[in-house]
Amino acid sequence: MSDPNPDHDHTAVVHDAAQIVTVEADGSLGIYEDAAIAVVDGEVTRVGATGPVTREYPPENAEYAIDARGKAVVPGFVDPHTHALFAGDRSDEFEAKLRGKTYQEILAEGGGILRTVRATREASDEELLSHLLSHLDTMLAHGTTTVEVKSGYGLDTATELRMLDVIARANDRHPVDVVPTFMGAHAVPEGRDADDYVDEVVDEQIPAVAEQGIARFCDVFCEEGVFSVPQSRRVLVTGEEHGLTPKVHAEELAHIGGTQLAAQLGATSADHLLYATQEDIDAVTDAGVVPVLLPGTAFGLGAEYADARAFLDAGAPVAVATDFNPNCYSQSMEFAASLSCVEMGMTPAEALVAGTKNAAQALDMDDGTGTLQPGTPGDIAVLDAPSYVHVPYNFGVNVVETVLKGGEVVHHE
């Protein structure tokens, strides 16, 4: 059958929205009321008042026409830090932590990451893929359209490569864009010495990962009792020599200097930063390193939150992520936004920019993802709520109703 509207195929029009929110180049919000947005061939072409936009792009000719009366429209969320590929869960450790056990105590007993490593090594590729796809479904339902996923529950060359391969397959199969990060230096495997394991990461894992050609970034858990600053530096420098851009887990549980390392290496991001000092904040800001704050982790650990205001005052492009992993079991950027506001003192506007434009910057994306500016990807979340403020305000609830990825409806409640 011939297409009745060949000219308007691959067009999406969301119209009569109570509010459409874009992110401007300076990081402020553009707020359009009684508005429409048009997406053609995957890219935003027009945002503005419903009348003129729908005259140019009549909804009746569009492949997808969404009447958004009473609803707000925001950029799809970008989640720039997750460990979403793993087998098993650690709900029993959640209970142990509630009884007072610390994250480090659990790890030192062979639990925590090391336990997830055992479960992940035992799982088949198909099991791992199906777990990841199901987590991506949950993320998408909560408005996430791009997510970074790290390896790091293999801690040996074969399993790390397998994880990256599963991440690539999930990216092919699922509408959410998945950005792969190699994190062989996520923990010291049981019975191994840290220096000896770093030798393996540097001499064996990184060259194999580079040859496989999937990973974009190389991350390291630079932490007291895990990898020291010199060990982390070795991993990240070797990664860079093999084409992997550095990222750092820095000052999550203690202050050991990972943030300064990120600044010295010009890493794309420094993440966690609970114990970052003012010198650290100035250093990452001057070096153009994106601070990625993970309030869900502090929430789950019952820890202090990162000082988001100090980073914002310094002029840093603060990003927020879920850190979804078996120790921080939330796939929801909406919940991260609620914590950003209530626990880290960010405004709803700052939280929205942190989970869209700045999060895309934390993944080195330069195509305008997370902004809804003309010429950028048509990744859109339509809320069952009249304003973007409801994302953090209506906590513990999913306010996302419809999600478009590149102008295609990929989720509808």
Question: Which residues contact ligand NIG (rule: CB under 6 A)?
Answer: 83, 112-113, 116, 221, 249, 252, 297, 323, 325-328
Contact between 378 and 14 under an 8 Å Cβ cutoff? The reply is: no
Q: What residue type is 285 in one-letter code?
A: T
Total Cβ atoms within 10 A of residue 174: 20
Q: How far is the CB of 274 from ligand NIG (least distance, A)?
A: 10
Residue with Cβ nearer Fe ion (223 or 323)? 323
112 binds, among ligand NIG, Fe ion, none (CB under 5 to 8 A by kind): ligand NIG
148 binds, among Fe ion, ligand NIG, none (CB under 5 to 8 A by kind): none
* C-alpha dist (Å) from residue 17 to 14, 267, 278: 7, 39, 42
Residue with Cβ nearer Fe ion (280 or 323)? 323
Instruction: Find the distance separating the first CA and the last CA of the chain, reported in whole Å.
Output: 30
160 binds, among Fe ion, ligand NIG, none (CB under 5 to 8 A by kind): none
Q: Which distant-in-sequence residues (6+ apart) come within 8 Å of 26 by Cβ? A: none
Residue with Cβ nearer Fe ion (13 or 147)? 147
326 binds, among ligand NIG, Fe ion, none (CB under 5 to 8 A by kind): ligand NIG
* C-alpha dist (Å) from residue 214 to 160, 211, 376: 11, 8, 24
Q: How far is the CB of 330 from Fe ion (least distance, A)?
A: 13
* C-alpha dist (Å) from residue 84 to 218, 249, 328, 329, 377: 16, 16, 10, 9, 24
Total Cβ atoms within 10 A of residue 102: 14
Residue with Cβ nearer ligand NIG (119 or 349)? 119
Looking at 168-230, which runs of residues are DSSP E strands?
A: 177-185, 217-222
Q: How far is the CB of 213 from ligand NIG (least distance, A)?
A: 25
Residue with Cβ nearer ligand NIG (13 or 84)? 84
Q: What residue type is 225 in one-letter code?
A: G
Chain residue whose CB lies nearest Fe ion: 323
Residue with Cβ nearer ligand NIG (161 or 185)? 185
Q: How far is the CB of 321 from Fe ion (least distance, A)?
A: 8
297 binds, among Fe ion, ligand NIG, none (CB under 5 to 8 A by kind): ligand NIG
**What one-character-per-residue DSSP string does 235-277 give?**
HHHHHHHTTPEEEEEESSSS-SSHHHHHHHHT-SEEEE-TT--
Q: How far is the CB of 163 from ligand NIG (least distance, A)?
A: 13
Rg (CA), the chain: 21
219 binds, among Fe ion, ligand NIG, none (CB under 5 to 8 A by kind): none
Total Cβ atoms within 10 A of residue 69: 12
162 binds, among ligand NIG, Fe ion, none (CB under 5 to 8 A by kind): none
116 binds, among ligand NIG, Fe ion, none (CB under 5 to 8 A by kind): ligand NIG
Q: How far is the CB of 410 from Fe ion (least distance, A)?
A: 26
Chain residue whose CB lies nearest ligand NIG: 327
Residue with Cβ nearer ligand NIG (49 or 254)? 254
State the DSSP H helix or E strand holding residue 59, giving kind and residue range, or none if neither: none
Residue with Cβ nearer Fe ion (93 or 323)? 323
Contact between 124 and 58 under an 8 Å Cβ cutoff? The reply is: no
* C-alpha dist (Å) from residue 383 to 20, 123, 252, 388, 393: 10, 37, 33, 8, 13
Over the window 296 to 335, marking each residue x when it contacts Fe ion by CB under 5 A and - when it does not, the resulting string is ---------------------------x------------
Among residues 334, 412, 371, 388, which one has the least CA distance to residue 71? 388
Q: What residue type is 43 in one-letter code?
A: E
Contact between 280 and 325 under an 8 Å Cβ cutoff? The reply is: no
Q: How far is the CB of 74 from ligand NIG (least distance, A)?
A: 26
Q: How far is the CB of 25 from ligand NIG (least distance, A)?
A: 30
293 binds, among ligand NIG, Fe ion, none (CB under 5 to 8 A by kind): none
Q: How far is the CB of 323 from ligand NIG (least distance, A)?
A: 5
Q: How far is the CB of 153 from ligand NIG (least distance, A)?
A: 7
Residue with Cβ nearer Fe ion (113 or 372)? 113
Binding footprint of Fe ion on the chain (CB under 5 A): 323
